[in-house]
A and B are shown apart, each in its own frame.
Chain A
Amino acid sequence: MRVLLYENGRSQGVKRIRERLESRFPHGFEPLDSIEGLVYRLRHDRNYHWIAVVAVSDLEDLSALLSIREWLLDLRIILILPEIDRELTMSGHRLYPRYIAYGDGDLEDVAAVLEKMLRLNELEDPSLGH
């Protein structure tokens, strides 16, 4: 498993994100719906080639993620914010995401970035193939 999807069930467009990932990445991804679950996952089994798609529901959710930032720093994060909002975006950059998308927009971009990241991962470490 090389792609984690964090979303707490309240994220905007979460159904679309899930559907899109499921259809584009038949090899799957691992959904996590709580901060505790995410930390547990990272505590017990982690790999620095992992990519995390993090769909934030609101500023509170983002603040909770920032409080566990230490755990996330060496993951490649694609951050999906609920809407275009300056405060949210600026706070989101503190997670050092490799890409920021918005849940109220076209999520085709997320799939395209994720596909490219997965290709790069395979080039870096072919043993991690699907």
Chain B
Amino acid sequence: MGEVLIVDDNVGVCRILHSVVEEMGHHADYVRTLGQAMKTLASGSYDVVLLDVHMPDGNGLDLLPRIRETKDSPEVIIITGKADPNGAELAIKSGAWDYLQKPLSLNTVVLPLKRVLQYRKASQNGPNPTVALKLDGIIGRSKQMQTCFDALARSAAGESPVLITGETGTGKELFARACHHNSPRSDQSFITVDCAAMPETLVESMLFGHKKGAFTGANRSQPGLIEQAHGGTLFLDEVGELPDSMQKAFLRVLQENRFRPVGGQKELRSDFRLISATNRNLDRMVDQGRFRKDLIYRLRGQTIELSPLRCRPDDIKDLVLFYSAKLCERHGVETKGISPDFLEAVLAYPWPGNVRELIHSVESALAEVAYAPTLIVNQLPVHIRVHLARASVEQSVAPNADSRTPERPGSADPLPTYKALRESVLHRAEKEYLREVMVTSQGAIQEACRISDLGRTRLYSLLKKHGISRVGWDSPAFSV
């Protein structure tokens, strides 16, 4: 029996939904404010929340992420009297199971409710799908990554097409490979089609293959990638770049599992599992007439949306530690420690190139560090240090904005007061100096006191003031 919480300010709606749920053989409670909803969720145990958007004490959509984070992570079905496409998009992106519009008919409520309760039952009875996953270099403990791992586990177990989306460098190809390696087809081939790198003139013959004499230069028959993928997985990387003519031809392959090599008389059959990836917004491309709507439906059996690294900072430390150890092993050198300032810097940087940029920055730092035992911030690539330095200056000057003199004519930046400027410059210089002292002394306080000519108490107080750790400057501060 499923447990359902109804959250709606209209008592009539609450009563109707209550009786619908009870007639389905499940138990329901209802509350009429968001505040009551959070209290009830904290004390009770629920599988599903039917959530109204416009509530007397706030907007239900704002509460959705918090509901998903409560102890049972109940699924949420949004019910609204004023549906709009943006609200629907926000709801689904925030993790809602479904988005329903009032007035409700019996079917519109019963069917999604039935599905969601079946799903909850299956996921509670089945083994944790992420436990046995072979992830091969995919690192992350953040909530976003856990969601991706769950989606990966479901995708790998099934046969329907998978679409992986995310910015460049988020690891779409790694997820595609992991999906294949965790699937029943893992002992067969994983065939990559780089849609972005294929010259338009080659696409057809590359995908479908060709027969001898099919065109000038076709001096022998050649099997295409679709044929090679038979029994295994076909991975269409950067699928948004697939030329229009090929979109149509490929759609037919997906519909019929059959294709004809260029210049061939006979159709061939290929049984492959399709995984696609893109950093493009395919829906927008459809609106612009640059991508076929019917093909999107075929690609999007299941979706895995990978978050940019800047949205999941909780994973940065794990990534640095994992790849630092892995790269040290690959290069045959001893594992390096990570200094607190290095970690502080990588946490502060926004990583526009995502995980790929982070890995290569760690590799670049390892190349710089040579035989020293610990990675320090100065070994990060210059463009990262420049970014951080600029951000630090902007940040340290900004809080003093109130005490600034009026803006200078013709200048975008108002001139700070002498006092504000002096304090900000001193603060930065002091912090940099202390870091240098700790690096040079490798964290030995006696040595740091000798270099700086400061007393132990004064040094401790300054380190505390600047949030600089006293440990971790000599050897691996964070065991790997």
- Cα separation A108 to B205 with both chains bound (whole Å): 14
Chain A residues with Cβ under 8 A from B202's Cβ? Answer: 109, 112-113
- Contact check, B199 vs A112: say whether CB atoms are below 8 A apart: yes
A106 touching B199, Cβ below 8 Å: no
A-B contact count (CB 8 A): 63
Q: Contacts A43-B331, A93-B191, A93-B228: A120 and B177 contacting too (C-beta < 8 A)? A: no
Cβ-defined contact, B189 with A93, below 8 A: yes
Instruction: Answer whether residue A98 sits at the interface, using C-beta atoms and an 8 A cutoff.
Output: yes
Among A43, A96, A102, A113, the residue within 8 A (CB) of B190 is A96
Interface size of A in residues (CB-CB distance below 8 Å) = 29
The reply to whether B197 and A84 contact each other, CB–CB distance below 8 Å, is no
> How extensive is the interface on chain B, given as a class?
20 to 34
**Contact status B222-A93, CB under 8 Å:** no
Do A116 and B222 form a contact, CB below 8 Å, given A89-B228, A96-B177? no
Cβ–Cβ contact A105 & B197, under 8 A: no
* Chain A residues within 8 Å of B222, by CB: 84, 102, 105
Contacts A43-B331, A48-B360; A99 near B189 (Cβ below 8 A): no
CA distance A121 to B427 in the complex (A): 41
Docked-complex contact A98 and B228, CB < 8 angstroms: no
A83 to B173, CA, bound (A): 28
| 0/1 interface trace, chain A 58-75, chain B, CB 8 Å (1 if under) | 000000000000110010
Answer whether residue A124 sits at the interface, using C-beta atoms and an 8 A cutoff.
yes
Mark each residue of chain A from 94 to 120: 1 if its CB lies under 8 Å from any CB of chain B, else 0. 001111001011101100110111001
Which of B190, B192, B196, B330 is A120 in contact with, Cβ under 8 Å? B196
Query: Is the CB of B223 closer than 8 A to any CB of chain A?
Result: yes
Instruction: Give the chain A neighbours of B191 by CB distance below 8 A.
Output: 93
Residue of chain A at shortest CB distance from B360: A48
Minimal beta-carbon separation of A112 from chain B (angstroms):
4
Is A99 in contact with B190, judged by CB distance below 8 angstroms? Answer: no
For residue A90, which residues in chain B have a CB less than 8 angstroms away from its CB? 189, 228
- A70, B363: Cβ atoms closer than 8 Å: no
CB distance from A111 to the nearest CB of B (A): 10
Chain B, interface SS category: mixed
Given A46-B363, A84-B220, A108-B217, A97:B192 Cβ within 8 A: yes
B334 within 8 A of A: no
- On chain A, the residues within 8 Å of B189 by CB distance are 90, 93
Is B194 an interface residue, CB under 8 A from the partner?
yes
The chain A residue sitting closest to B330, CB to CB, is A70
With a cutoff of 8 Å between Cβ atoms, the chain B residues found around residue A106 in the complex are: 217, 219
Chain B residues positioned under 8 Å from A113 (CB to CB): 197-199, 202
- Bound CA–CA A90/B233 (angstroms): 12
- A98 touching B194 in the complex, CB below 8 Å, given contacts A43-B331, A105-B219, A105-B222: yes
In residues 227-259 of chain B, which contact A (Cβ within 8 Å)? 228
Best-buried of B191, B197, B330, B359 by chain A (most CB within 10 Å): B197
Is B141's beta carbon under 8 Å from chain A?
no
B356 and A48 contacting across the interface, CB-CB below 8 Å? yes
Q: B168 near A: Cβ within 8 Å? A: yes
Least CB distance from B181 to A in Å reads: 12
Q: Residues of A contacting B198 with CB < 8 Å?
A: 99, 113, 116
**Contact at B223–A116, with CB atoms within 8 Å?**
no
**Is B125 in contact with chain A by the CB < 8 A criterion?**
no
Q: 8 nearest interchain CB pairs? A: A98-B194, A106-B217, A112-B199, A117-B197, A93-B189, A48-B360, A116-B197, A98-B197
Other 6 A-B pairs with CB < 8 A, given A89-B223, A102-B222, A117-B197: A71-B330, A90-B189, A98-B192, A99-B206, A105-B222, A120-B197
